[in-house]
Amino acid sequence: MSLLNVTNLTMDFGGLRALDNINITVHENEIVAIIGPNGAGKTTFFNCITGMYTPTSGDILVNGTGGKTHRINGLKPNKVTEKGLARTFQNIRLFPDMTVLENVMIGKHCRTKASVIGAVFRGSETVQEEYEIVESSYELLRKVGLENSVNNLAKNLAYGEQRRLEIARALATEPVLLLLDEPAAGMNPHETKELDELIVRIRDEENIAILLIEHDMKLVMSLSDKIVVMDYGKQIAQGTPTEIQNNPEVIKAYLGEDFA
Amino acid sequence: MEYFLELLLGGLTRGSIYALIALGYTMVYGIIGLINFAHGEIYMIGAFTALIIASVLTILGFNHLSILVLASLVAVIYSAAYGFTVEKVAYKPLRSAPRLSPLISAIGMSIFLQNYVLLAQTSDFMPFPNLIPDFDFMEPYAHVIGSSELVILLTTAAVMMLLTVLIKFTKIGKAMRATAQDKSMAMLVGVNIDRVISVTFIIGSSLAAIGGILVASHIGQINFYIGFLAGIKAFTAAVLGGIGSIPGAVLGGIVLGCTESFATGYVSSDYEDVFAFTLLVLILIFRPAGILGRSTTEKV
Amino acid sequence: MKLLTSFKKSFLVSIWFMFLTFPIMVIRVNPIEEIIEWRWWNMLLVGGCSFVLSLLGRYFLEKKELMAKRVADSGVIATTFKKRLFEQRAFAVPILIIISFAAIIFPFIFSTYQTSIMTTALIYVVLGLGLNIVVGLAGLLDLGYVAFYAVGAYSYALLNYHFGMGFWAVLPIGAGLGAVFGLLLGFPVLRLRGDYLAIVTLGFGEIIRLILENWNDFSQGPSGIANISRPSLFGTQLGLEANTVYLYFIMIGFMIFTIFVVNRLQNSRIGRAWIALREDEIACQAMGIDKTRTKLNAFALGATWAGMMGVVFAAKTTFINPASFTFLESAIILSIVVMGGMGSIVGVIVAAFILILLPEYLRAFSDYRMLLFGCIMVVMMVFRPQGIISNVRRTYRYGNNKGQDINHRETEEV
Ligand SMILES: Nc1ncnc2c1ncn2[C@@H]1O[C@H](COP(=O)(O)OP(=O)(O)O)[C@@H](O)[C@H]1O
Ligand SMILES: [Mg+2]
């Protein structure tokens, strides 16, 4: 079953066409990678499907939480998250002055319901809910390997840890599809390898499909079921890692004329 | 018809003063993205300095023209110095702080400067000498436009032209435009950001001082609190025209001045200030980019 | 060597400030009698003060940078007295007992006048805590907070004047009207960017004041409304002295209630959402938080407190007019929140007492009150943006202990 179905997506900024007729489908349990040079429009694509930008035209359909199909163009970001899409950011956007645990607890917000009244009276239902939030958030932190920094402030984490915290926070929203924007940027080879394992684990253990933007070719080739190549807002190729590796147009666009 | 003309000219006069002050808001906002809340106080300090110097010179027996020139000059220099100092003390240390910190600092500065003048001088209204002479050739038109209104309009026009030339053609003007567009890029190509910011504050404050002198001499009295209302209205003008845009500030000033003039002339004068505030609230809600501004998508 | 250069720099700074303040500080003209007064002492004063302040400023900025570096290096902050105060029960409980005891006997050992001042300070504590929800927790700079205070005060004054309604009957109405106005204003403006929001709320506050000033039929204009009833105790009106004590205890009750509510809120799902919103709006929305609704919650809740305090204020002074609700009032409450450290309950309480009581008891200060407030806002932002008492984030227990017995450690208990 397809989770995400993007057809003819186009996005203009004034005169600039940042996305030109993009078509991407992501199926259950799939890992799909988007690659392309800087400025190709990859992040813009993420922003369009997560409701940060309203696309100029095209359709974005999600078979999300609850099993119904929703058209999510122009929906607010929080509504998109409720439908089961969660993302990380290319430039890390954590809540710097909150603790690591609290950052993840925020992710639980849209799956819980305590109100102002509930918070003041703190009835047994609210207490139970809080308890579950703390426990499941801690569980997620263990999963990404941050169990030793639970009560540190997010801003005091190392760079690679911050990236992993962003993933944990996104997982806390209980998504069906996780969107990762350059998760390995700034990581050393060892950290990248751990990230590789983490992504596979998320897919296998949680049954979450993954759409990722990445420049690290080794990571992309080893992880992906399918790769989409973008250049200047256009989708220039799509296929399995082997197909992409042997596609002359991709080699030309991505690696430069010399390799062709 | 004559009443209409009178209101129109009154609106233009008012509007050009708003425009003079609004330019300071817009230029600073364009460069560092800060609503310089203390800008109204710089205008007030300009007016006060002019008042003090003019009174001293009058007592010392100087003639009319030299008083006008000297008092204006000193007031402009002092306002510029205050603007420069305020930036160094209250904003510069906060350049990398969260967005609201410099705004709170600016509000604090504004309250501080008001009370500084209140304590060092007086809380009463002070009579301001009429520095602008009554021209004989204006006599026949006196019922629609006075001499001081004419001077205000002409001075504003001249100042605007000077500013345009400065920004379009001089080196510092280019640096200012470059900084407004992209601060880090400007820094990379060798623009001295600190200097550009200082110059922006100095120019904006000088313009405010000119506005202060013109208004004070036109209305005839000032106190420590005049900066608050003038500041808010000028800010409204800047937003109305599209904050960050220099022609926008002028246009916004004129539109606001005329709106106020007609509203008080034809509707009611009780709610004069309510009109301005309501206009401000309405624009910010419905068209925050202003008349000349373009709305953009924030990059994520 | 370094000391010498900083002396040299401070000297230049003091020369600059002597020049800068020359016309306004030194010259005073009486234009009617044509007398010029030259106040050279002021120049020396400015010179001396700016020299010392510049030296101190340099020292503190350096220290701040050093601290930031040290914290970034080690990742942990050393246990301080402050932390011990808030985290260890053995330490906090006796202090609490002493404070409660002092609060109870206060009106019986001090004069009515002192009690009345203390009540005023308590009103500001509660106003500060209310605004703290909006500014400190949710990060929405509200410069028109006084408008909601005015709404509360006028609702009591008018309902009392026209229909003879009593304090306790109007209290919930004032709170409700505060909330309604908060929602009314919040709905259109909360989509605005932070600094625009500040200006719009300022404009809104001024509009309310100007309407109260000009709409004579409704509000009796600038002359205000007098003879507002004081609160009654079980239906009986008390004498002036007894009533002051009564109001004092009402305010003590309010303060405890407010602290209780705010403390619970800030460690709840909603409170966390507010703080996250303050930290990063975009990330917050991407995590599934409804931005508008969360902001509206904070805004309306803050306004509710202002509305309630407005009712208390009207009952305390028995006379209100629009002059009590100027922008400066908003600025005072804001400086309490800023000085207290945005988001910290204890900080706000301490700051409110310092800022309201100091000018009352040190008469010499009272003229310099607003000057001081302006100064505090700038100085706090530059040197200590986290306030006098920074908010320590709460820590949670997690892991193996199952069931309901998770024992949360509150970092801010009062
Ligand atoms: N909010 C925006 N306004 C204007 N232009 C934008 C905006 N967001 C992205 N762009 C432009 O769209 C293009 C694609 O950018 P982006 O999606 O960030 O590229 P990538 O992530 O592939 O490196 C760039 O030319 C960028 O400048
Ligand atoms: Mg990108």
Phi, psi dihedral angles at B225 (to 5 degrees): -100, -5
Q: Please say if the pLDDT value at position C403 is more than 60.
A: no
Residues C132-141 have pLDDT tens digits of: 999 989 989 8
Out of C75, C275, C286, name the one closest to residue A87 (CB): C286
By the CB < 8 Å criterion, does B289 face chain C? no
Nearest CB to C269 within list A50, A101, A114 = A114
Lowest-pLDDT range of B115-129, C206-220, C352-366:
C352-366
Residue A102 covered by a domain: yes
**Cα–Cα dist B112/C378, whole Å:** 9
Question: How many Cβ atoms are within 10 Å of A217's Cβ, its own excluded?
Answer: 16
Residues C66 and C178 occupy one common structural domain: no
**CA–CA gap between residue A96 and residue A157 (Å, rounded):** 9
Nearest CB partner across the interface for A109, out of C265, C269, C301: C269
With respect to residue A8, please indicate whether it lies within any of the assigned structural domains: yes
My answer on whether C70 and C134 are in the same domain is: no
Residues C209 and C342 grouped into a single domain: yes
* Mean pLDDT value of segment C40-66: 87
Q: Can you give the pLDDT at residue C70?
A: 66
Q: How far apart are CA B28 and CA B240, in angstroms?
A: 16
Asked if C368's CB is within 8 angstroms of B105's CB, the reply is: no
Note down the domain range covering A219: 2-84+175-259
pLDDT of B254:
92
Arithmetic mean of pLDDT, B128-156: 77
Together in a domain, C146 and C252: yes
Note whether residue A110 is domain-resident.
Answer: yes
* Cα–Cα distance, C67 to C383 (Å, whole number): 12
How close is the nearest chain B Cα to the Cα of C401, in Å? 39
Instruction: Tell whether the torsion through CA atoms of B23, B28, B33 and B36 is positive or negative.
Output: negative
Residues C143 and C249 in one domain: yes
Ligand found nearest the CA of A234: 1
Chain B residues with CB-CB distance to A52 below 8 A: 300
Closest by Cα among B200, B235, B253 to B80: B200
In a domain, residue C406? The reply is: no
Closest CA to A121 of B106, C334, C171, C268: C268
In B, which residues are within 8 Å of C336 by CB distance?
none
Q: Do B121 and C200 touch (CB under 8 A)?
A: no
Q: Which residues of A touch C75 (CB under 8 A)?
A: 152, 156
Count Cβ atoms within 10 A of the Cβ of residue B169 and give its class: 0-12 exposed, 13-18 middle, 19 or more buried.
exposed
Among B182, B178, B215, which residue's Cα sits nearest to residue B199? Answer: B178
Are residues A153 and A191 both part of a single domain? no
Centre of ligand 1 to C-alpha A19, Å, is 9
Strand-strand pairing, A85-87 and A177-181: parallel
Q: pLDDT tens for chain A, 260 residues: list them.
A: 788 999 999 999 888 899 999 999 999 889 999 998 888 999 999 999 999 999 999 999 988 766 678 888 888 999 999 888 999 999 999 999 889 999 999 999 988 888 888 788 888 888 888 888 898 999 899 989 898 888 888 988 988 899 999 999 999 999 999 999 999 988 888 889 999 999 999 999 888 999 999 988 888 888 899 999 998 889 988 999 888 888 888 777 766 655 44
Instruction: Evaluate the CA torsion angle A71, A74, A77, A78 in order and state its sign.
Output: negative
Mean pLDDT of chain C: 84
Chain-centre distance of CA C182, in angstroms? 18
pLDDT at residue B297 in the model: 65
Cβ of B297 under 8 Å from any chain A Cβ?
yes
A108 and A72 housed in the same domain: no
CB C178 within 8 A of CB C312: no
Query: Which region holds residue C341: left if phi is over 0, alpha if psi is between -120 and 50, else beta?
Result: left
Do C362 and C268 fall within a single domain? yes
Asked if A131's CB is within 8 angstroms of C287's CB, the reply is no
Residues C31 and C156 in one domain: no
Which residue's alpha carbon is at the smallest distance from atom 16 of ligand 1? A41
Give chain A's domain count. 2
Is the residue at C401 inside a domain? no
Q: What is the mean pLDDT of residues C312-334?
A: 91
Enter the tokens of residue A149. Answer: 């920094």
Q: Taking ligand 2, which is a single-atom ion, which protein residues have CB atoms under 5 Å away? A: A 43, 90
Residue C83 in any domain: the answer is no
Range A30-44 burial, b when 16+ CB lie within 10 A, else e: bbbbbbbeeebbbbb
CB of C264 within 8 A of CB of C414?
A: no
Domain assignment of residue A135, yes or no: yes
- Tell me the domain boundaries of chain B: 12-286
C297 and C267 inside one domain: yes
**Positive or negative torsion for Cα C280, C283, C285, C288:** negative
Cβ distance B20 to B159 under 8 Å?
Answer: yes
pLDDT confidence of residue A35: 92
Nearest-10 crossing angle of helices B100-120, B64-86: 140
Q: Which of B72, B74, B274, B282 to mutate to test the interface with C (most CBs of C within 10 A)?
A: B274
Exposure of C95 in the CB half-sphere (CA atoms within 13 A): 12
Pocket of ligand 1 (CB under 6 A): A 13, 16, 18, 36, 38-44; B 297, 299
Residues of chain C in contact with residue B228, where contact means CB-CB under 8 angstroms, are 327
Bridge partners of C35, per DSSP, are C30
Domain count, chain C: 2
Q: Are C136 and C348 in contact (CB under 8 A)?
A: yes
The CA distance from A25 to A41, in Å, is 17
* A166 belongs to a structural domain: no
Residue in this structure with the two tokens 């193996």, named with its chain if needed: C400
Residues C190, C164, single domain; the answer is yes
Which residues of chain A approach chain B closer than 8 Å at the C-beta?
13, 43, 47, 52-53, 89
B297: closest chain A residue by CA:
A53
Q: How far apart are CA B273 and CA B84, in angstroms?
A: 30
- The predicted model scores a pTM of 0.87
**Cα dist from C179 to A3, A185, B162, C152, whole Å:** 42, 46, 50, 10
To the nearest whole number, what is the mean pLDDT of chain B?
Answer: 87
| B227 contacts B42 by C-beta, under 8 angstroms | yes
Same domain, C39 and C123: no
Contact C128, C336 (CB under 8 A): yes
Same domain, A183 and A77: yes
**How do residues B40-70 score in pLDDT, each as one tens digit?**
999 999 999 999 999 899 888 888 888 889 9
Q: What is the CATH number of the domain that holds A207?
A: 3.40.50.300
d(CA A182, CA A212): 7
Q: Are residues C143 and C217 in the same domain?
A: yes
Tell me the CA–centroid distance for residue B129 and ligand 1, in Å.
58
Q: Determine, yes or no, domain membership for A170.
A: no
A119 and A233 together in one domain = no
SS3 sequence of A79-124:
HHHHHCEEECCCCCCCCCCCEHHHHHHHHCHHHCCCCHHHHHHCCH
Same domain (yes/no): C154, C69: no
Task: Please give the average per-residue pLDDT across B279-300, as a whole number.
Answer: 75
Q: Are residues A197 and A147 in the same domain?
A: no
Residue contacts between A and B (CB atoms, under 8 Å): 7
The answer to whether residue C283 is domain-embedded is yes
| One domain for residues A126 and A184 | no
Residue C404 included in any domain: no
For ligand 1, what atom is nearest to the CA of residue A53?
A: 1
Q: Model confidence at C409, in pLDDT bands (50, 70, 90)?
A: very low
Question: Which atom of ligand 1 is found nearest the CA of A36?
Answer: 22
Q: Please give the residue range of the domain that contains residue C126.
A: 88-393
Is the pLDDT at C413 greater than 50? The verdict is no
Domain presence at residue C80: no
Residues on chain B touching C378 (C-beta within 8 angstroms): 89-90, 105, 108-109, 112
A68 and A103 share a domain? Answer: no
Indicate the burial class of A110 (C-beta count within 10 angstroms; 0-12, 13-18, 19 or more). Answer: buried
DSSP 8-class letter at A66: T
The second-level CATH assignment, the architecture, of B12-286 is: Orthogonal Bundle (1.10)
| DSSP-H helix ranges across chain B | 2-32, 39-59, 64-86, 100-120, 147-169, 171-181, 183-188, 193-219, 226-241, 246-262, 272-286
Query: Please, are residues C330 and B110 in contact by the beta-carbon 8 Å criterion?
Result: no
Q: Is there a single domain that holds both residue A13 and residue A75?
A: yes
Which atom of ligand 1 lies closest to the CA of A230?
22
